[in-house]
Amino acid sequence: MCNTAEVIIVGSGVIGCAAAYYLAKQGVSVLVLERDQSIGNGGSSRNGGGVRQSGRDPRELPLAMYAVEHMWPKLSEELEIDVEYHKQGNLRLGKTERHMEILQGLTERAAACGLDVHMIDGAEVRKINPYLSDEVIGASWCATDGHANPLLTTLGYYRKARALGVRFCTEEEVVAIQKIRGKARRIITAKAVYEGETIIVAAGYESRAIASTVGIDIPMRKELIEALVTEAEPKMFAQMLGTADADFYGHQTDHGSFVFGGASGMESVNKDNGNMAVSSITAPCICRGIMKYIPKLADAKIVRTWAGYEDLCIDGVPVISSVEEVPGLILACAFTGHGFGISPVVGKLLSQMALGEETFLDIREFRYDRFQAAI
């Protein structure tokens, strides 16, 4: 089997799969290398499925708005799989005056960027979602936000890319990228050597180690966070929920189960057994958080809990960037927990970058060399 391709993508997460799909659609030969045995086994299969614009950093907002306006609504049709996209709004809930201040700030910044998001009071909140408790005194409301199924989106991109001829190789852990005649070209894995004209590294936190083999460092860290899912419940509400306190976020899926993420507060020091182990205290904490907001879910049964790593960038937005000093290398990493909602647009941008085309959105804010010392 031939070990060369025009573009080699390291990482088969939703970003890598989307980029592979948009490239293959243009007739480019693509090879995707995945460390794990399963496709998209990192954050792409572990996130809460939010497709939000509100609450985002203004630098990232144009990407999210583009994705929501132009890509998500047609994605099921494009991928020929129901990605369970619902554009039925996002409520970011507040219970205290301090919460309301946080929400006000976020709302003002997003509105200034042209997003239709506004503050609503407790009564309006319960009109949108009658299951929310009286403790909720207000929320920010963005009617064009929503959620989708990250598992089906990732595998949908994979399936379609594969059908278009993209070659995916699993259990191929990239050890190093090698420059050949001044260009990033060769990829060494534990088992084989691959060559490509362009290399896209979209491997989550592991991108840092891979990029460092050609002398590039991205200032990021990883954090093990957790999520849980309930049994199927009768249909209750369609919005994506979040809170000012970030104690939980989530939604009800088409299946009827609720997927919620949340935090115990110990995330920055969580330890792991190498298996993305959950801790014994996080799920109970998430449940307590949820019950304060949605008391009716107290009887809902939790059937699974899981953990996954976030690749957190030092300044809170991702690196989506060509690396001029290493020609042929493109980085797409450090998504800081907001990658899923913008994955279609990032995939499309990456395909343009790999083809040397001018991107349809300005991505200078995501340059790999933007990081500066404090003083």
First to last CA, the chain: 52
DSSP 245: T
Q: Is the Cβ of residue 15 or residue 184 nearer to another protein in the bound state?
A: 15
Question: 324, exposed or middle or buried, with CB in 10 Å at 0-12, 13-18, 19+?
Answer: exposed
User: Count of CB atoms within 10 A of residue 2's CB?
Assistant: 9
User: Count of CB atoms within 10 A of residue 229's CB?
Assistant: 18
DSSP 359: P
Binder of another protein out of 9, 39, 174, 312 (CB under 8 A): 39
* Integer Cα distance of 333 and 199 in angstroms: 13
Residue 22 interacts with another protein (CB under 8 A)? no
Give residue for tokens 């937005």. Answer: 317
Q: Is the Cβ of residue 104 or residue 133 nearer to another protein in the bound state?
A: 133
Q: How far is the CB of 278 from another protein (least distance, A)?
A: 6
Question: Are residues 341 and 153 in contact, defined by beta-carbon separation less than 8 angstroms?
Answer: no
Q: Is the Cβ of residue 306 or residue 371 nearer to another protein in the bound state?
A: 306
- Contact flags string 188-227 toward another protein, x per CB under 8 A: ----------------------------------------
DSSP 279: P
* Integer Cα distance of 325 and 12 in angstroms: 25
Q: How far is the CB of 94 from another protein (least distance, A)?
A: 21
Q: How far is the CB of 312 from another protein (least distance, A)?
A: 22
Number of residues that bind another protein (CB under 8 A): 53
Residue type for position 316: G
Residue 1 interacts with another protein (CB under 8 A)? yes
Q: How far is the CB of 261 from another protein (least distance, A)?
A: 15
Q: Is the Cβ of residue 70 or residue 191 nearer to another protein in the bound state?
A: 191
Residue 372 interacts with another protein (CB under 8 A)? no
Residue 131 interacts with another protein (CB under 8 A)? no
Q: How far is the CB of 244 from another protein (least distance, A)?
A: 21
Q: Name residues contacting another protein, limited to 266-325 (CB under 8 A).
A: 271, 273-275, 277-281, 283-284, 287-288, 290-291, 297-306
* Integer Cα distance of 60 and 195 in angstroms: 32
* HSE toward the beta carbon, residue 131, CA cutoff 13 A: 17
* Integer Cα distance of 255 and 355 in angstroms: 39
Residues lying near another protein in the complex (CB under 8 A) are found at 1, 37-41, 45, 151-152, 154-155, 158-159, 162-163, 167-172, 230-234, 255-256, 271, 273-275, 277-281, 283-284, 287-288, 290-291, 297-306
